[in-house]
């Protein structure tokens, strides 16, 4: 590995920053302390800072010492509503909130790159450091874009990263083209008529209808989607009832769909609505369907992905870089930024921990200098037109 020595020299400080962020996690759009920490550090390194873009988002702008392109580097800052179950000395001090997705690490990596670039300024053009709020399904990327992110700070290219527990240590992975699924969330309210549990003939039972609906929805992927396309429809919640002897009046089922094309998204939405209407007619209930787009399909620019892979090989070594062919059914709201500006999203592997979004997840601080080095090298190499 060819890490930037200057960054290795302050690796301990990066670890301290990461652990401080870890101990003070904040939910999406509530990253007040976190964005304050980011702002103070950027300003201490002489970087121009703009706050409150997309509510709690922060943007830092740094000019190089000669003209060139403008490169955006993005990190996410929010934590999850999870009660941490580790016994780390720096575990969450905010009950019910935890950095279980490594966003404390991503933020720190970008800070590490920003410090190095501010100290050296040996690059062309301009670097825009994008510290994004609310990545976990709340639309923080969209909020920043709606707040004029790329009008106020136009970028030629934009890059982001995520840690990847369970992948080989230090493995850098990029998938050119479509890399991550788009996602919808849905709620279907089934309204019938409640009655005594002993007198079903007086009910229009929403539980029987809702369970039939869950079964019927399984046919969307198996019967309606081209077998050579991938999609997911998962019902993840059923809520109804409160007593052994009462047939309730209402049931609500909720879940998520994952798709890789906008046409599949539309097709699945239509089928969910049609099936819900059919089940309503069959069981004499009413169904009300609400489907919302939460994540766009994440599509990396093909050429920029390959350029990034080459850059990553020069940093992490040939054997540590994988150009993947298979997208994942996970989603990531950096997709919205990649829709506005071409670029690439990559992952860095680390071993030996519970998976993301698990209460036992621990981020491996030893990958911080690699993440900072990759981001810094992107800035140095891609700003040269």
By the criterion CB under 5 A, which residues form the site for Ni ion?
Answer: 101
Nearer to Ni ion (CB atom), residue 102 or residue 192: 102
- Give Cβ neighbours of residue 239 (< 8 Å, ≥ 6 apart): 251, 252, 253, 254
Nearer to Ni ion (CB atom), residue 42 or residue 101: 101
Nearer to Ni ion (CB atom), residue 101 or residue 225: 101
Please identify which residue in the block is written with the tokens 């850059």.
311
Q: How far is the CB of 162 from Ni ion (least distance, A)?
A: 6
Q: How far apart are CA 44 and CA 39, in angstroms?
A: 8
CA 26 to chain CA centroid, nearest Å: 15
Long-range contacts of 213-216 (CB under 8 A, 24+ apart): 213/188, 213/253, 213/275, 213/276, 213/279, 213/287, 214/238, 214/253, 216/275, 216/278, 216/279
Helix (H, G, I), strand (E, B) or coil at 46: coil
- Give Cβ neighbours of residue 85 (< 8 Å, ≥ 6 apart): 359, 360
Nearer to Ni ion (CB atom), residue 145 or residue 180: 180
- Cβ atoms 1, 320 nearer than 8 A: yes
Nearer to Ni ion (CB atom), residue 287 or residue 347: 347
Nearer to Ni ion (CB atom), residue 269 or residue 350: 350
Please identify which residue in the block is written with the tokens 């539980």.
207
Q: How far is the CB of 101 from Ni ion (least distance, A)?
A: 3
CA 296 to chain CA centroid, nearest Å: 11
Q: How far apart are CA 233 and CA 259, in angstroms?
A: 9
Nearer to Ni ion (CB atom), residue 116 or residue 361: 361
Q: How far is the CB of 325 from Ni ion (least distance, A)?
A: 22
Burial class (CB in 10 A: 0-12, 13-18, 19+), 329: middle
- Cβ atoms 64, 123 nearer than 8 A: yes
Nearer to Ni ion (CB atom), residue 28 or residue 343: 28
- Give Cβ neighbours of residue 278 (< 8 Å, ≥ 6 apart): 216
| CB burial readout 293-317, b (16+ within 10 A) else e | ebbbbbbbbeebbebbbebbbebbe
Nearer to Ni ion (CB atom), residue 101 or residue 321: 101
Q: How far apart are CA 252 and CA 273, in angstroms?
A: 15
292 strand-pairing partners: 185
Q: How far is the CB of 103 from Ni ion (least distance, A)?
A: 6
Residue closest to Ni ion when measured from CB atoms: 101
What phi and psi, each to the nearest 5 degrees, are found at residue 356?
-60, 150
Question: In the chain, how long is the greatest CA-to-CA distance?
Answer: 81
Nearer to Ni ion (CB atom), residue 101 or residue 220: 101
């Amino acid at each position: 590995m060819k890490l930037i020595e200057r960054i290795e020299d302050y690796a301990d400080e990066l670890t301290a920053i990461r652990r401080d962020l870890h101990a003070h996690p904040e939910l999406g759009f509530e990253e007040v302390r976190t964005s304050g920490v980011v702002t103070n550090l950027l300003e201490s390194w002489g970087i121009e800072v703009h706050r409150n873009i997309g509510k709690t988002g922060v943007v830092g702008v740094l000019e190089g010492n000669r003209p060139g392109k403008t490169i955006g580097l993005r990190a996410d800052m929010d934590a999850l509503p999870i009660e941490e179950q580790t016994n780390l000395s720096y575990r969450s001090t905010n009950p019910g909130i935890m950095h279980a997705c490594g966003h404390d690490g991503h933020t720190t990596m970008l800070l590490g790159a920003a410090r190095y670039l501010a100290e050296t300024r040996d690059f062309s053009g301009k670097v825009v450091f994008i510290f994004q709020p609310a990545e976990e399904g709340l639309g923080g990327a969209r909020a920043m874009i709606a707040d004029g992110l790329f009008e106020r700070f136009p970028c030629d290219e934009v890059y982001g990263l995520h840690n990847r527990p369970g992948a080989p240590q230090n493995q850098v992975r990029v998938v050119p083209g479509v890399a991550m699924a788009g996602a919808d969330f849905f709620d279907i309210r089934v309204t019938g008529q409640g009655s005594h549990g002993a007198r079903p003939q007086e009910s229009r039972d929403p539980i029987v209808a809702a369970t039939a609906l869950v079964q019927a929805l399984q046919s969307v992927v198996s019967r309606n989607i081209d077998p050579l396309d991938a999609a997911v429809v998962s019902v993840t919640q059923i809520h109804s009832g409160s007593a052994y002897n009462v047939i309730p009046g209402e049931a609500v089922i909720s879940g998520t769909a994952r798709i890789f094309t906008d046409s599949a998204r539309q097709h699945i939405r239509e089928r969910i609505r049609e099936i819900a209407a059919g089940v309503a007619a069959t069981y004499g209930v009413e169904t009300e369907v609400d489907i919302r787009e939460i994540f766009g399909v994440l599509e990396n620019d093909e050429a920029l992905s390959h350029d990034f892979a080459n850059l990553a090989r020069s940093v992490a070594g040939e054997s540590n870089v994988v150009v993947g062919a298979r997208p994942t059914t996970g989603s990531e709201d950096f997709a919205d930024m990649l829709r506005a500006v071409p670029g690439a999203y990559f992952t860095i592997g680390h071993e030996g921990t519970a998976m993301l979004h698990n209460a036992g997840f621990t981020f491996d601080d030893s990958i911080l200098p690699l993440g900072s080095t990759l981001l810094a090298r992107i800035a140095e190499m891609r700003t040269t037109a």
